[in-house]
Structure 1
Amino acid sequence: MKHLNHTNDDAISFISKIIDNKSEKADKEILRRRRKAEEIGSSKPNELTYQERCHSILDKNKKSISDYDTDFNNDQWTDIKLGIPSVTITEENDKTDFKKLYLYRNNYIQELCNDLRKSNYGEWMCPICQVTPVNSLDHYIPKTKYPLYAVHPRNLIPCCTTCNGHKSEKVVEEGKRVYWNAFLDSVEQRYLYCDIILENGIPTCNFSTKKGDLSDELYKVIKTTFDDLHVADTMRDGVSCFVTELRDSIVKNLIKNNFESLEQCICVIKQLYQPKNVNDVRKVAQLALLDSPAFLKVVNDLVSCKNISSMDISPLIA
């Protein structure tokens, strides 16, 4: 799991921009009736367009929206209120209107995605599993229960649909977060581990977590996220190609660099795979493979195959 830099865009301004960019078909008829009323000098119909309704909700709930940032900055989630705290029409109507503000392909949402990508040095892999490209935004506080934060910029976290789909809507307990928040959480100590097991004769990466030197509170967040979102399964599937890639890389290096032994080659490659981030899933998997007798046997069997040469090996390189 990784940390991401978040946007500092003002939430009220950002939400207001999205409201101004949205409309409904019924709005044309509402505006038509207004114009007609003006033409004949009668009173205007007492009905609001979609934009007007949403702006009204926004105006009445500015404090609650600001409270999100207060809780976010303090990482104490005590002011997050269900539904729409200050109702303008009816609670269900207000909820429906604000939930509809979110659309992943909305221009301003995509602009937010692009800004987040730039501020994170172009990195666009899911911060939870690290193996799947970002293709959605996770509403950390779910929009179904908390529609007021449906397009709050600090509540929209880049994620893959697999991890996003497994996340429960119960994200806060007694003011404490249950799940990893990539905008807030960052860990330097190691917690991610990988064992290599054989499945149908093929070395497979089996991921797990260990508390180590982490605080009880932080490890609980990591473990709950890892378990509830089935992160081990996603990681295992995502790194399945590493077995073949690493095998072929070792054999290619043996031939190209004339190593005296497989052990010498492995030792050199290990130095190249030392991670800056000790929880980098790709590096954790690669180092586990390099230490695995089962994987090294696969490599050794290929090296020992009849007449391995540079010509023989070229088709094996990914």
Structure 2
Amino acid sequence: MLKINSYNESSFSFYKDVVSSKRNTVNKPRLKGELETISNDQSSYFDVYDDAFSSNSLSSIAAGSYNDNDKANLNGLYSYRSKKIQELKNLLTRHPLHTENILNTCQNCTINEADTMDHVLAQTEFPEFAVHPKNLFPCCGFCNKKKSDKYVDEEGNLLFLNLFLDDLPQSQYLHVNFGDNWLPRFYLDQPTDVSDKVFNLIKSHYERLDLLTRFS
């Protein structure tokens, strides 16, 4: 796993570019106007997200109060195949150390190709962040499905690493043994210099994405 570089330009400008690329349709003849009506609210929500992102406290964000029509409009802004989202994915999958190279492996698992964008805060609860560029993480479809809409548990504890923000330990925590017929068994072991909080988050990430079995 590698911590990858996040989007470093104006998040709300990215949102406005996505909105500008949309067109009114027969089914949504007032789409552009309806999105313009909530533009100031969106700007405020984006500021909240950016501040929480800077302090690595996304779990503190409360969902916005939009009606069903506005939620549908916001969710409709996201399409994995759209030009702006593909441009974002290409930017985010630049190797963090060797920017001339594309790192198109899902860093949530390091197994599959990054062929989707995971919403860190799920679209179902947070449609206001459906196209926030720091809320979209390139990953594989398997990890995306495994993560589903979960980000924290009932007690508010984080369930997954955010590899835009979380620093991985330098000490080794992933190990493998080989049994009969050289069948591998991967397991986690907490190094002495890794705190319980960090190790428990790593453990949750590995368990919920079924990584130890997938590695085998």
Give the alignment's TM-score, normalised by structure 2. 0.88
Equivalent residue for 1:112, pick from 82, 85, 88: 88
Match of 2:171 in 1: 189
8 Å CA contact retained: 2:104, 2:113: yes
Structure 1 contact 117–123 (Cα < 8 Å) conserved: yes
2:45 to 64, 67, 70: 64
Q: 1:84-143 CA deviation, whole Å, 9 max, x = no partner? A: 33x3xxx11111111111111110000111112235332121111112111111111111
Corresponding residue for residue 253 of structure 1: none
Q: Please tell me whether the aligned partners of residues 152 and 159 of structure 2 are also in contact (alpha carbons under 8 angstroms).
A: yes
- Structure 1 residues 135-214: aligned runs within 5 Å: 135-172=115-152, 177-187=158-168, 188-198=170-180, 201=181, 203-212=182-191, 213-214=193-194
Amino acid at match of 2:71: K
Q: 2 CA distance for matches of 1:205 and 1:139?
A: 32
1:44-87, Cα deviation, whole Å (9 max, x unpaired)? xxxxx2122123223223212111111111012364122x33x3
Gaps of 5+ in 1: 31-48, 237-318
Task: Report if the CA contact (8 A) 2:59-2:152 is conserved.
Answer: no
Deviations 1:172-214 (A, max 9, x none): 356653210010112212111112233xx4x332222112121
The answer to whether the 8 A contact 1:136-1:159 is kept is yes
1:233 partnered with 2:213: yes
> What 5-or-longer segments of structure 2 have no aligned partner?
none
Change (3 A) 1:68 1:103: same
Q: How far apart, CA to CA, are the structure 2 residues paired with 1:129 and 1:144? A: 24
1:251-273: CA deviations, max 9, x gaps? xxxxxxxxxxxxxxxxxxxxxxx
- Read off the aligned partner of 1:205 and give its amino acid letter: P
Is this contact kept in 1: 2:11–2:132, CA < 8 A?
Answer: yes
- Contact 1:2-1:127 at 8 Å conserved across structures: yes
Structure 1 residues 127-163: Cα deviation after superposition (integer angstroms, max 9, x where no partner): 1111211111111111111111111011101111111
Between the two proteins, the alignment pairs up a number of residues equal to 209
| Cα distance in 1 between the residues matched to 2:59 and 2:93 | 30
Larger Rg: 1
Corresponding position: 1:20 with 2:1: no
On the 8 A contact 2:93/2:138 being kept in 1, the answer is no
| 1:95 to 2:71 alignment | yes
Aligned partners of 2:147 and 2:206: how far apart in 1? 10
| Whole-Å separation in 1 of the counterparts to 2:72 and 2:149 | 18
In structure 2, relative to structure 1, the CA distance for the partners of 1:164 and 1:10 (3 Å cut) is same
1:139 and 1:194 map into 2 onto residues whose CA distance is 31
Q: Secondary structure at the match of 2:18?
A: helix
> Structure 1's 207 and 58: CA in aligned 2 closer, same or farther, altered over 3 A?
farther
C-alpha separation in 1, matches of 2:59 and 2:177: 40
Give a deviation string over 1:204-242, Cα, whole Å, max 9, x none.
Answer: 322221121211111111111100111122222xxxxxx
Q: Which amino acid aligns with 1:97?
A: N
* Secondary structure at 2:39 match in 1: helix
Alignment of 1:28-39 (within 5 A): 30=29
Counterpart residue number, 1:7:
7
Q: 1:56 to 1:175 in 2, by over 3 A?
A: farther
* Counterpart check, 1:53 vs 2:39: no
Give the match for residue 217 of structure 1.
197
Matches of 1:197 and 1:54 in 2, distance apart? 58
